[in-house]
Amino acid sequence: MSHRSSVPLAWRRFEARYRLVGNRCLTCGTIYFPPKAICPKCRRKGKLEKYQLKGEGKIHTYTIIHAAPSGFEKRVPYCIAIIELDEGPKVLGEVVGDLTLLDIGARVRAVFRKIYEDGEDGIIHYGLKWELV
Protein backbone atom coordinates (compact mmCIF):
# COMPACT_ATOMS: atom_id res chain seq x y z
CA MET A 1 0.00 0.00 0.00
CA SER A 2 1.34 3.40 -0.81
CA HIS A 3 0.87 6.50 1.26
CA ARG A 4 0.86 9.31 -1.29
CA SER A 5 1.82 12.65 0.15
CA SER A 6 2.77 16.11 -1.01
CA VAL A 7 6.42 16.29 -2.07
CA PRO A 8 6.62 20.13 -1.76
CA LEU A 9 5.04 20.00 1.72
CA ALA A 10 7.58 17.44 2.92
CA TRP A 11 10.41 19.48 1.40
CA ARG A 12 9.43 22.67 3.25
CA ARG A 13 9.66 20.80 6.55
CA PHE A 14 13.15 19.32 6.05
CA GLU A 15 14.77 21.73 8.47
CA ALA A 16 12.55 20.65 11.34
CA ARG A 17 12.27 17.00 10.32
CA TYR A 18 15.93 16.34 9.50
CA ARG A 19 17.67 18.59 11.96
CA LEU A 20 15.36 19.47 14.82
CA VAL A 21 15.54 23.20 14.17
CA GLY A 22 12.89 24.88 16.32
CA ASN A 23 12.67 28.43 17.53
CA ARG A 24 13.12 30.46 20.68
CA CYS A 25 11.38 33.57 21.88
CA LEU A 26 13.92 36.28 22.66
CA THR A 27 11.41 38.03 24.94
CA CYS A 28 10.48 35.18 27.31
CA GLY A 29 13.13 32.56 26.43
CA THR A 30 10.65 29.76 25.65
CA ILE A 31 11.90 27.19 23.14
CA TYR A 32 9.42 25.78 20.62
CA PHE A 33 9.49 22.63 18.55
CA PRO A 34 8.00 22.36 16.01
CA PRO A 35 8.74 26.05 15.40
CA LYS A 36 5.83 28.44 15.99
CA ALA A 37 4.83 31.43 13.87
CA ILE A 38 4.29 33.63 16.97
CA CYS A 39 5.12 33.15 20.66
CA PRO A 40 1.77 32.25 22.30
CA LYS A 41 2.96 33.70 25.61
CA CYS A 42 4.19 37.06 24.39
CA ARG A 43 2.04 37.52 21.30
CA ARG A 44 3.02 40.78 19.60
CA LYS A 45 5.82 41.47 22.12
CA GLY A 46 7.52 38.19 21.28
CA LYS A 47 10.45 37.89 18.87
CA LEU A 48 11.26 34.42 17.53
CA GLU A 49 14.63 33.23 16.21
CA LYS A 50 15.77 29.84 14.91
CA TYR A 51 17.02 27.49 17.57
CA GLN A 52 18.96 24.25 17.12
CA LEU A 53 17.81 21.62 19.62
CA LYS A 54 20.40 19.10 20.84
CA GLY A 55 18.35 15.99 20.10
CA GLU A 56 18.42 14.45 23.57
CA GLY A 57 15.59 13.82 25.97
CA LYS A 58 13.53 11.25 27.83
CA ILE A 59 10.38 9.25 27.26
CA HIS A 60 7.32 11.02 28.71
CA THR A 61 4.87 8.29 27.70
CA TYR A 62 4.74 5.55 25.06
CA THR A 63 2.58 2.96 23.36
CA ILE A 64 3.28 -0.11 21.22
CA ILE A 65 1.56 -0.12 17.83
CA HIS A 66 0.25 -3.49 16.58
CA ALA A 67 -2.29 -2.26 14.03
CA ALA A 68 -0.41 0.23 11.88
CA PRO A 69 -1.74 2.85 9.47
CA SER A 70 -1.19 2.22 5.76
CA GLY A 71 2.45 2.45 4.74
CA PHE A 72 3.68 1.24 8.13
CA GLU A 73 2.17 -2.28 8.18
CA LYS A 74 5.51 -4.04 7.82
CA ARG A 75 7.01 -2.25 10.79
CA VAL A 76 4.70 -3.69 13.47
CA PRO A 77 5.21 -4.01 16.34
CA TYR A 78 6.79 -0.60 16.92
CA CYS A 79 6.85 2.00 19.64
CA ILE A 80 5.48 5.54 19.43
CA ALA A 81 6.30 7.88 22.28
CA ILE A 82 6.07 11.44 23.45
CA ILE A 83 9.64 12.56 24.05
CA GLU A 84 10.36 15.36 26.46
CA LEU A 85 13.39 17.15 25.02
CA ASP A 86 16.02 18.46 27.44
CA GLU A 87 15.22 22.00 26.26
CA GLY A 88 11.56 21.57 27.25
CA PRO A 89 9.41 20.93 24.16
CA LYS A 90 7.63 17.59 23.76
CA VAL A 91 7.66 15.75 20.43
CA LEU A 92 5.88 12.69 19.11
CA GLY A 93 8.11 10.10 17.48
CA GLU A 94 9.08 6.48 17.05
CA VAL A 95 11.42 4.87 19.57
CA VAL A 96 14.01 2.46 18.14
CA GLY A 97 16.86 0.34 19.42
CA ASP A 98 16.87 -2.10 22.30
CA LEU A 99 13.18 -1.98 23.28
CA THR A 100 13.86 -4.03 26.43
CA LEU A 101 15.13 -0.71 27.84
CA LEU A 102 11.76 0.93 27.14
CA ASP A 103 10.43 2.78 30.19
CA ILE A 104 8.93 6.09 31.22
CA GLY A 105 11.88 8.41 31.81
CA ALA A 106 14.30 6.34 29.71
CA ARG A 107 16.91 8.47 27.92
CA VAL A 108 16.77 8.73 24.13
CA ARG A 109 18.76 10.54 21.44
CA ALA A 110 17.72 11.61 17.94
CA VAL A 111 18.87 9.40 15.05
CA PHE A 112 18.34 9.94 11.31
CA ARG A 113 16.11 7.21 9.86
CA LYS A 114 13.77 6.37 7.03
CA ILE A 115 10.20 7.21 8.08
CA TYR A 116 8.30 5.71 5.13
CA GLU A 117 8.46 5.19 1.40
CA ASP A 118 5.82 6.58 -0.91
CA GLY A 119 5.22 3.24 -2.60
CA GLU A 120 7.81 1.55 -4.83
CA ASP A 121 8.26 4.57 -7.11
CA GLY A 122 7.65 7.56 -4.86
CA ILE A 123 9.99 9.57 -2.68
CA ILE A 124 11.58 8.23 0.48
CA HIS A 125 10.71 10.25 3.56
CA TYR A 126 13.50 10.64 6.08
CA GLY A 127 13.42 12.17 9.51
CA LEU A 128 14.35 11.69 13.13
CA LYS A 129 13.55 8.78 15.41
CA TRP A 130 14.57 8.29 19.02
CA GLU A 131 17.08 5.65 20.00
CA LEU A 132 17.20 4.34 23.56
CA VAL A 133 20.61 4.94 25.11
Partner 1 sequence: MKTDGKSGIVGYGCYVPMYRIKVEEIASVWGEDPERIKKGLLVEEKAVAGDDEDTATIAVEAAKNALKRACINPDDIGAIYVGSESHPYVVKPTATIVGEALGVGNSYTAADLEFACKAGTAGIQMCLGLVSSGMIDYGLAIGADTAQGAPGDALEYTAASGGAAFVIGRKNVLAKIIATASYSSDTPDFWRRPMQHYPRHAARFTGEPAYFRHIGGAVKLLLEETNLSISDFDKVVFHMPNGKFPLRMAKMLGIEKEKLADGFVVSKVGNTYSGSSLLGLCATLDKAKPKELILLASFGSGAGSDAFAIEVTDLIEEKRDLAPTFERYLNRKIYISYAKYAKMRGKLKD
The residues of the shown chain that bind partner 1, judged by CB under 8 A, are: 14-15, 18-19, 21, 52, 74-75, 96-98, 111-115, 124, 126, 129
For partner 1, which is the closer residue by CB, 58 or 72?
72
Outline where the chain has alpha helix (H): 7-12, 14-19
- Smallest separation, CB 57 to partner 1 (Å): 17
For partner 1, which is the closer residue by CB, 3 or 126?
126
Name the site residues for Zn ion (rule: CB under 5 A): 25, 27-28, 39, 41-42, 46
CA pair distance 95, 132, nearest whole angstrom? 7
- Smallest separation, CB 28 to partner 1 (Å): 26
